[in-house]
Amino acid sequence: MWSVMLYATTSYLFTPIVDQQGDNRIRSILQLADGRMVSVTESGVETFDGCGFNVWPFPDSEPYRLNGYKGHMHLYLSAGEHQLLWIKNYGRLQCFDLETERYIINVDSLFRSHGVNEKIDDFFTTADGGILVVTRGSIVHPVTEFSYMLPTSEGQLLDTALSHDRLYLFYESGVMETVDTTTGKKVSSSRAYPEEESRLFSATSLVVTAPTGFYQLRNGSRGGFFRYTLSTGKWEKLLETDFTLNTLTITNDGTTAYISCPRGIIIMDTATGAITRLPMLRTRSGNILAMEVSTIFSDREGGLWLGTLNRGLLYYHPEAYREFTIDKSLMPAGFIHTEVVPLFSEDNLGNIFLGNRRLTVDAEDGIAVSETDTETGMRGGEYGTGSAFVASDGSLFFNDADGCHVFVPAADSCRQPQHAPVITEIYIHGERVVPGSATMPVAAPYASHLTLEHNRNFLTFDCVPLNYITTAPTRISYMLEGIDTRWNSVIIGGNNASHPLGRLRAVYTALPPGDYTLRVTTSPEPGSPEAAEQRMKITIRSPWWDTAAARAAWCLLAIAIVAAIVKLYSLRTRQRLEQKHREEILLTRIRSLIEQCDRYEAEKATAGTTLEDCRDHADSDTEFINRAVALVEQNLNTPGYSVEQLSRDLCMERTGLYRKLTTLLDRSPSLFIRDIRLRHAAALVKEKRMSMAEIAEATGFSSSSYMSRCFQEVYGCRPSEYAEK
């Protein structure tokens, strides 16, 4: 038995990312500010968040025409009221609003809103999200009103770059002009290549800004790669080819340049100029692809994205796999590298064999090769097919002329992406909230505040950690302030994930009215000041009957009711006092009348004819009242006994009876009858021997309720209360 440890080298293994529902003909790629990737295909715009694609096909409307641009597809991002994606391609310009997820059909009106009323010939953006337009032979910044007249001698303006207060203009002739944006004057000009070479690179230009300056791809009859250093103000040619150079991307630290071309990928160390060519691309599926890469992009996390003409996206990250090489000297005798994988095999225990040699694979320690006897090993060719051997643990074995290249998945430890997680979708009662609606005017990744009615309080949030390295799990933590008292943590992606599809779904049901804040982070220390978080405020409105205005209205209503009760009580009390006062006046008049009669009788002995007449008169009045009282009392149990019957019994007209009683008693005949009935009813109530209905019947009232109402008007209380008092 013997063993040897093999150590890592550097190579590239790409992960295919194919959109099964969309278009896999990728033309250009960019990364959005929140970390999501956006690509433009032959048929539309797509975004990718590490878990899935969103697709928006191009509209049928005619694009805006750019007469001054004849180059290939170029993407720009601009910021303002909304984040916009601009697509410039072969004299056409389209605009897609990323926040509302809609195409802007009338681009001309958008320019007019920026103060540009003339026809635009070409379009660019600045690093800070501003826009530059070429119109009437000048380049204009609509916001700052900066304008610079372009020279006609240098040919067409192909590209721009802005650094601080310097605007760099790249022309068809190879000249770069430097313009001061504060004064609008030319500062300097320089050439990327001699004037006699202008015809070689006059067709297209692609400029990429780096920390130390600019890198430029030029194409014509030949392809060229140039660098301009800001500190020295000098150009240098880094590469010249006899084929087209498609696209260029520079890593964040500026140390590596990637160029896509019909012959694969060219990788250059910008410090040494060393070049590596990748004519073939290895993939995680075990395939080796030879194809043209249409576009290439280096993201902010060190990942490399390739766009292909018909195979979708390919992604590479140095942390996804570790590569080891088995030297050709350790390969079994008779091995031919063109056989690809026929010597590799794996048993049901996961042991991998290279002929009769066992391979022990470890992402940290490397690969150990040990001899086994013939019976322990497995015969080569029994299971090997395809461009590479793919083991059950995801390791890949590629055979080359110099030996075997082995790619081992990185250790299954949680990884922290640089970006905060993104809330991609929001559901209310299980229904997706559509951007542009009254509930959510912008798409979920851009929404910062959500206001909902009290009956729309069942919420679901889809969040992605933006971990494009699918072999590595990610810990994601979330909490809803106002509901959760601590952070909730789950594992996204990887082999042992609680959410293996790579997407967190946070569900909150029956949220009471109030203000909440959803916080999501991938930081190992959630809540720390350094943690990158995605936040969204949620307001659940109170029902109308429980709002502050409604509570104030309830209070005012209660006060009004109390005030009405107090006023009603005061009114009833005043009415009782007035009634009592009227009764006292009536009694006083009756007593005065009786006293007058007594006085008349006491003076009859000494009074003359006149006194006798007076006494006769007083006697007749008293007799009249007594007779009227007697008639009413005789007919107490007669409900229909009325003023007309009383006037007939007294042999008087009704009007005469009315004048007589109002003169003597200040009471109308109807009140006179009612008072006599009430007096008898009060006496019966005090006796407590009869029910109210019986008393009402005995005293001639039509009903007990009518008797009770009259009782309250005269005595100020109900008959039952009168009995208690």
Identify the architecture of domain 422-542 in CATH. Sandwich (2.60)
β-pairing, 213-219 vs 223-229, is: antiparallel
In the chain, CATH 2.60.40.10 sits at 422-542
When mean pLDDT is compared across 107-116, 454-463, 490-499, 529-538, the lowest value belongs to 490-499
| Burial class for 129, CB neighbours closer than 10 Å (0-12, 13-18, 19+) | middle
In the chain, CATH 1.10.10.60 sits at 549-724
How far, in Å, CA of 27 to CA of 218, rounded?
18
pLDDT in tens, 599-614: 777 766 555 544 445 4
Contact (Cβ atoms closer than 8 angstroms) between residue 126 and residue 118: no
**Helices 669-687, 609-634: inter-axial angle, 10-degree rounding:** 60
Dmax over CA atoms of the chain, in Å, equals 173
How far, in Å, CA of 639 to CA of 630, rounded?
16
pLDDT in tens, 196-219: 998 899 888 999 999 899 999 999
pLDDT in tens, 233-266: 999 999 999 999 999 999 988 999 999 998 889 9
Q: For residue 717, name the pLDDT band (cuts at 50, 70, 90).
A: confident
Q: Which of 41-55, 358-372, 378-392, 667-681 has the highest mean pLDDT?
A: 41-55
According to the model, what pLDDT value does residue 372 have?
67
pLDDT of 378 over the 70 cut:
no
Secondary structure (3-state) at 263: coil
pLDDT of 616 over the 80 cut:
no
Q: What is the arithmetic mean of pLDDT over 680-689?
A: 82
Residue recorded with tokens 């040990």: 370
pLDDT of 2 over the 50 cut:
no
- φ/ψ of 570, rounded to 5, equals -65, -40
Q: For residue 181, name the pLDDT band (cuts at 50, 70, 90).
A: very high
When mean pLDDT is compared across 96-100, 353-357, 547-551, 630-634, the lowest value belongs to 353-357
How far, in Å, CA of 429 to CA of 460, rounded?
8
Q: What is the arithmetic mean of pLDDT over 440-452?
A: 94
How far, in Å, CA of 461 to CA of 39, rounded?
25
Q: Distances from the Cα of 167 to the Cαs of 86, 176, 209, 212, 413, in angstroms?
A: 20, 10, 12, 16, 46
144: left (phi over 0), alpha (psi -120 to 50) or beta: alpha
pLDDT of 379 over the 60 cut:
no
How far, in Å, CA of 55 to CA of 43, rounded?
10
What rounded mean pLDDT belongs to the chain?
Answer: 84
Q: For residue 621, name the pLDDT band (cuts at 50, 70, 90).
A: confident
When mean pLDDT is compared across 99-108, 205-214, 359-368, 382-391, the lowest value belongs to 382-391
Q: Is the pTM of this model over 0.85?
A: no
Contact (Cβ atoms closer than 8 angstroms) between residue 664 and residue 593: yes
| Other C-beta atoms lying within 10 Å of the C-beta of residue 127 | 10
β-pairing, 449-452 vs 533-540, is: parallel
Q: Decide which of 222 and 285 is more confident.
A: 222
Fold classification of 549-724 is: Arc Repressor Mutant, subunit A (1.10.10)
